[in-house]
């Protein structure tokens, strides 16, 4: 290991990998602040809970749309611009949150600064960028970076809870903003480095210019982009249902809300493990398409299980296994894009897929509440999520069927 790190190229790759993980871990804290502070913010101003909820949704919407723009910047100029802009906007957005006094101010901060210019620089550009640094361990590298989201879900809610209890929500937001500026801007200087020149690639069985003798006809990049974007909606509708509603679901079953929070934390911890280890193991050996099929199958099975399990130990086990399934799904998409689509447009193509994924997350979150209001239970909502997940699996299976075997043609 030490001898490998003596190689300057390997050392640079390792430094960029660690910097990417820390960048996404710190920046993702902006998602969880308003979740923890929601009741305090509404109580101070007398706002309905819809106000901070809309701000939360605007952050996701802004990040999805902005991710395409930041992906385009990555394709044209490298990671320097997205990383610097993201670090500045997340830091300043946290600071300005502490001064917010009207819904409009909160919406602008969360939709614009923290969303379009902030979180948009995290998952999509970072995972697309790291694929350019790693030739032979690309799936592992993407999994490591993607695990930052799960780790953030484990760390930041607890950190914000204790900080808000100590100094109040305004000071907590201010301190988070300062911390983000002090840590993310130096990380941006590391991320602006230019990756090594890629190895020339040959066409593969899925998108090659000519059909293979085996009869597998290629798919155009546009059709493949559309298929992946549609598949992302299906898996993310299923993914967001328990993420958004598991705490309420556990409470509805008669357990203390703290048990629901524990269930969610366990789910997020297992998702980080799946991303860190599982994506590299499966993606590196079988390719992104086959890896995502395994993860998505596990997610569908365990979501169906969550619809019927009512014992607390059963909920813990099902949530943990669900996390192992869903945690590997999103990191697989940048791997697939890099394997099967032109490298020159990997940033914006990854951003488009993840924009659709964000739409699926929003749809699933809303669907869970709407179906519960209509039926008085989350069981039907979870089963609808399974149906969406089945659509994702059908699309992925059709793409796998067009690929006779996994080839490292784009690796």
- What is the distance between the alpha carbons of residues 293 and 296, in angstroms, rounded to a whole number? 5
pLDDT recorded at residue 209: 47
Our CA dihedral for 213, 397, 150, 64, rounded to 10 degrees, sits at 90
pTM: 0.77
pLDDT recorded at residue 202: 52
Walk me through the domains of the chain, giving residue ranges and CATH numbers: 2-191 (1.20.1250.20), 221-401 (1.20.1250.20)
Distance of CA 279 to the CA centre of its chain: 13
- 411 residues of the chain, pLDDT tens digit each: 444 556 777 888 899 999 999 999 999 998 888 877 877 888 888 888 678 877 877 888 888 889 888 988 988 888 999 999 999 999 999 999 999 999 999 999 999 999 999 999 988 889 889 988 887 788 888 889 988 888 888 888 888 888 988 999 999 999 999 999 999 999 999 999 988 766 555 555 455 544 343 444 567 888 999 999 999 999 999 998 888 778 778 888 988 877 877 888 888 889 888 888 888 888 878 888 999 999 999 999 999 999 999 999 999 999 999 999 988 898 899 889 888 888 778 888 888 898 898 888 878 877 887 888 888 888 998 999 999 999 999 999 999 988 755 444 444
pLDDT recorded at residue 207: 52
pLDDT recorded at residue 255: 87
Q: Which of 212, 197, 218 is nearest to 341 (CA)?
A: 218
pLDDT recorded at residue 2: 42
pLDDT recorded at residue 359: 83
pLDDT recorded at residue 268: 84
- What is the distance between the alpha carbons of residues 242 and 383, in angstroms, rounded to a whole number? 11
Token pair recorded at residue 50: 């819809």
Which 3-state string (H, E, C) describes the chain? Answer: CHHHHCCHHHHHHHHHHHHHHHHHHHHCHHHHHHHHHHHHHHHHHCCCCHHHHHHHHHHHHHHHHHHHHHHHHHHHHCCHHHHHHHHHHHHHHHHHHCCCCCHHHHHHHHHHHHHHCCHHHCHHHHHHHHHCCCCCCHHHHHHHHHHHHHHHHHHHHHHHHHHHHHHCHHHHHHHHHHHHHHHHHHHHHHHCCCCCCCCCCCCCCCCCCCCCCCCCCCCCHHHHHHHHHHHHHHHHHHHHHHHHHHHHHHHHCCCCHHHHHHHHHHHHHHHHHHHHHHHHHHHHHHCHHHHHHHHHHHHHHHHHHHCCCCCHHHHHHHHHHHHHHHCCHHHHHHHHHHHHCCHHHHHHHHHHHHHHHHHHHHHHHHHHHHHHHHHCCCHHHHHHHHHHHHHHHHHHHHHHHCCCCCCCCCC
Q: Which of 225, 227, 224, 208 is nearest to 216 (CA)?
A: 208
């Amino acid at each position: 290991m030490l001898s490998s790190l003596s190689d300057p190229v390997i050392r640079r790759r390792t430094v960029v990998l660690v910097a990417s993980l820390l960048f996404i871990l710190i920046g993702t804290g902006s998602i969880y602040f308003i979740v923890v502070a929601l009741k305090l913010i509404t109580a101070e101003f007398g706002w309905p809970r819809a106000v901070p909820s809309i701000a939360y949704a605007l952050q996701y919407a802004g990040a999805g749309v902005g991710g395409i723009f930041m992906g385009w910047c990555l394709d044209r100029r490298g990671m320097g611009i997205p990383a610097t802009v993201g670090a500045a906007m997340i830091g300043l957005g946290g600071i300005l949150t502490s001064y917010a006094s009207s819904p409009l101010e909160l919406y602008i901060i969360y939709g614009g600064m923290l969303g379009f210019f902030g979180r948009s620089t995290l998952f999509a550009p970072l995972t697309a960028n790291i694929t350019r640094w790693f030739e032979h361990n690309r799936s592992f590298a993407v999994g490591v970076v993607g695990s930052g989201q799960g780790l953030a879900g484990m760390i930041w809610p607890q950190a914000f809870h204790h900080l808000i209890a100590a100094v109040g929500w305004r000071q907590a937001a201010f301190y988070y903003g300062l911390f983000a500026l002090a840590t993310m801007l130096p990380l941006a200087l590391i991320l602006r480095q230019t990756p090594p020149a890629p190895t020339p690639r040959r066409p593969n069985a899925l998108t090659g210019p000519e059909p293979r003798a085996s009869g597998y006809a290629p798919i155009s990049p546009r059709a493949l982009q559309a298929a992946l974007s549609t598949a992302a909606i299906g898996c993310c509708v299923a993914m967001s249902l328990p993420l958004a509603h598991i705490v309420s679901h556990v409470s509805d079953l008669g357990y203390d809300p703290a048990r629901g929070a524990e269930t969610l934390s366990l789910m997020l911890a297992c998702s980080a493990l799946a991303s860190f280890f599982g994506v590299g193991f499966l993606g590196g050996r079988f390719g992104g398409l086959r890896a995502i099929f395994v993860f998505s199958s596990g997610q569908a099975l365990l979501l169906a299980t969550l619809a019927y399990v009512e014992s607390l130990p059963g909920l813990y086990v099902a949530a943990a296994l669900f996390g192992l399934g869903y945690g590997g799904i999103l990191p697989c998409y940048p791997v697939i894009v890099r394997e099967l689509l032109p490298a020159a447009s990997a940033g914006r193509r990854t951003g488009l897929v993840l924009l659709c994924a964000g739409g699926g997350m929003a749809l699933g979150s809303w669907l869970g509440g709407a179906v519960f209001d209509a039926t008085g239970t989350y069981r039907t909502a979870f089963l609808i999520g399974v149906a969406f997940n089945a659509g994702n699996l059908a699309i992925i299976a059709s793409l796998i069927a067009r690929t006779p075997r996994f080839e490292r043609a784009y690796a």
